[in-house]
């Protein structure tokens, strides 16, 4: 719960600075660092790097996360872990609703500093890809990690979940479709949501509600 409080605090601090317009220099500086000095519409690296970024950003898309969530819930149901399956579906569904409401509430325009390297359809703050990647991958990571008896396996699984979450968020800035503060806020909100759901699941498990 302390980590949840820290995540909420980070989100609120970033959101407050964004609303007051104090993040413009930081956002522009980081975004331009991913661009060629001679052409701001050209991301740094070879053409395959940009294609790789699109592949990575796809891991945080609605379709991929939905398929992964449904497949994981189905796996849990086949293992007769109905409560965990419901917990997973509720965690992701409520996180999706929360992300949509935050986007609607802040209604921040997408970056106009560079050309977008990926099609976008919603407002910018917080980054939905970053937030939902944190919710889904961290929640699944925790479920898998807690099923392991060896600490090294638990650390490995959680490290992979964090790595994928960070990679998806970074790709959004690289492709020019999100300001860095959008991604930071998305990571904070998604991590806080996943940690809160983890805490609730532990509480229910202690009370015998979840196997």
The catalytically annotated residue of 83, 116, 118, 178 is 178
pLDDT band at 117 (very low <50, low <70, confident <90, very high): confident
The catalytically annotated residue of 83, 116, 118, 129 is 129
Token duo for residue 71:
């497949």
The answer as to whether 77 is a domain residue is: yes
Per DSSP, 176 falls in state T
Token duo for residue 204:
């229910």
The answer as to whether 179 is a domain residue is: yes
pLDDT band at 208 (very low <50, low <70, confident <90, very high): low
pLDDT value of position 184: 94
The answer as to whether 170 is a domain residue is: yes
Mean per-residue pLDDT, 79-91:
85
pLDDT value of position 43: 86
The answer as to whether 85 is a domain residue is: yes
The answer as to whether 171 is a domain residue is: yes
Torsion sign (Cα): 121, 125, 127, 132: negative
Asked if 199 contacts 7 with a C-beta cutoff of 8 angstroms, the reply is: no
- DSSP-based three-state secondary structure for 70: helix
pLDDT band at 121 (very low <50, low <70, confident <90, very high): confident
pLDDT value of position 1: 79
pLDDT value of position 171: 93
pLDDT value of position 205: 66
Number of structural domains (the chain) is 1
Rounded distance between C-alpha atoms, residue 156 and residue 141, angstroms: 9
Phi (first) and psi of residue 207, to 5 degrees:
-90, 5
- DSSP-based three-state secondary structure for 6: helix
Q: Angle at the Cα of 143 (from 132 to 158), degrees rounded to 5? A: 70
The answer as to whether 152 is a domain residue is: yes
pTM: 0.86
pLDDT band at 211 (very low <50, low <70, confident <90, very high): low
**Residue range(s) defining the domain that contains residue 9:** 2-206
The answer as to whether 90 is a domain residue is: yes
Phi (first) and psi of residue 36, to 5 degrees:
-65, 135
83 is catalytic: no
The answer as to whether 211 is a domain residue is: no
129 is catalytic: yes
Q: Which of 102-111, 160-169, 201-210 has the largest mean confidence?
A: 160-169
Residues in the chain: 211
pLDDT value of position 143: 82
- DSSP-based three-state secondary structure for 14: helix
pLDDT band at 206 (very low <50, low <70, confident <90, very high): low
Q: What would the pLDDT profile of 23-81 be if each residue is shown by its tens digit?
A: 889 999 999 998 888 888 888 888 888 899 999 999 999 899 999 999 999 988 898 88
């Amino acid at each position: 719960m302390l980590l949840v409080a820290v995540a909420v605090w980070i989100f609120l601090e970033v959101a407050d600075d964004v609303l007051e317009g104090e993040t413009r220099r930081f956002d522009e500086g980081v975004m331009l660092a991913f661009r060629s000095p001679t052409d701001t519409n050209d991301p740094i690296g070879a053409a395959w790097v940009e294609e790789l970024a699109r592949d990575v950003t796809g891991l945080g898309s609605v379709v991929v996360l939905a398929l992964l969530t449904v497949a994981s819930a189905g796996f849990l149901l086949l293992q007769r872990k109905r409560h965990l399956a419901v917990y997973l579906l509720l965690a992701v569904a409520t996180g999706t609703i929360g992300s949509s409401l935050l986007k609607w509430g802040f209604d921040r325009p997408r970056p106009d500093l560079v050309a977008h390297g990926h099609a976008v359809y919603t407002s910018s703050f917080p980054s939905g890809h970053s937030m939902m990647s944190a919710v889904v991958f961290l929640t699944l990571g925790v479920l898998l990690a807690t099923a392991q008896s060896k600490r090294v396996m638990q650390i490995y699984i959680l490290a992979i979940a964090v790595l994928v979450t960070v990679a998806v968020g970074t790709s959004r800035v690289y492709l020019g479709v999100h300001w860095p503060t959008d991604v930071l806020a998305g990571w904070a909100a998604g991590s806080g949501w996943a940690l809160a759901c983890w805490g609730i699941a532990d509480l229910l498990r202690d009370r015998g509600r979840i196997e």
